[in-house]
Amino acid sequence: MDKLQNIFTEQTNRIIERKYHIIADLSETDFVHRYINPLKQMLVSLNVDTEFLENRIPFILVVPHNIVSLSYQLESIRKIIDEKQLEYIIKPEWFKNAPGVLTPDKPYFLIDVETGYARQNITPKKCVKAFHDEGRFPLTIDEGIALITHFPEVLKSHWIDLPGSILIHKFAGQDAMERGMLGALPPGFGRTTFVPTLYYKFYDSLRLYYINEMTETPYSGSASCGNRLSW
């Protein structure tokens, strides 16, 4: 229990340090009372292995986008790991949950997170099928941002594909048009499913982009969890 408590405290402190409560229009005390304490009470019932393996994390505290915007969360990470300002061509708000993926609308736990390291060079679509067969769940954009919020070092080893979310094509297409980038869009863009990917490796700066669900990449893998828990 002490180990669980320590992990939980570290993640809670990180959220408070980045002032999520201000974006949620709450005082720190009210934010903790409303969103953190109920999760803290669930620790006693969590049945998780507290050992950190190379690519496995016991649990992660997720603050969903309806509580704190993903753009704010992503920028908070960039300020910690990146010295240079980056204008995001693709915004995290341009993604939504993939069909059939249900996530809580209040802060929650991801249990038994695999960072995607074990799924490198496998298409996101094949990964989703494998997760279904194994009783696991693909991570969403909210959950991927939570992963690198608490464990940014993961970005040094591989790109993190998040097939629990899909790109909303019309917004990306609109942005490309405004930038005069339509010629850069892949053929059949509007008929293809794209999923978000987070990366740092090879670029030495935090970036969000998208990847075709049928693309195999040797340095990119789909992240998953064993369960999602909320009160």
- pTM of the predicted model as reported, rounded to 2 decimal places: 0.91
Q: What is the mean pLDDT of residues 140-153?
A: 97
pLDDT confidence of residue 53: 78
User: Each residue of 162-216: pLDDT tens digit?
Assistant: 999 999 866 665 665 565 555 555 555 556 789 999 998 887 789 899 999 999 9
pLDDT confidence of residue 216: 92
Alpha helices, DSSP H only, in 32-111?
37-42, 70-81
Specify whether the CB–CB gap between 77 and 206 falls below 8 A: yes
Asked which of 108-117, 142-151, 164-173 is least confident by mean pLDDT, the reply is 164-173
Q: What is the mean pLDDT of residues 106-122?
A: 97
pLDDT confidence of residue 77: 92
pLDDT confidence of residue 2: 85
Asked which of 18-22, 52-56, 146-150, 192-196 is least confident by mean pLDDT, the reply is 52-56
As given in the structure block, the two tokens for residue 121 are 């060079």
**213/161 Cα distance (integer angstroms):** 9
Q: Where are the domains of the chain?
A: 47-229
pLDDT confidence of residue 84: 63
User: Each residue of 25-65: pLDDT tens digit?
Assistant: 999 999 999 999 999 999 888 888 777 777 999 999 999 99
Q: Which among 66, 128, 75 is positioned nearest to 101, based on CA atoms?
A: 128
pLDDT confidence of residue 136: 98
What average pLDDT does the chain have? 89
pLDDT beyond 60 at 128: yes
Q: Which residues contact 174 (CB under 8 A, 6 or more apart)?
A: none
pLDDT above 70 covers what percent of the chain?
86
Q: What is the mean pLDDT of residues 122-129?
A: 97
pLDDT confidence of residue 83: 61
In 3-state terms the chain splits into helix, strand, coil percentages (rounded to 5) of 40, 20, 40
Which letter does DSSP use for residue 36 in this model? I
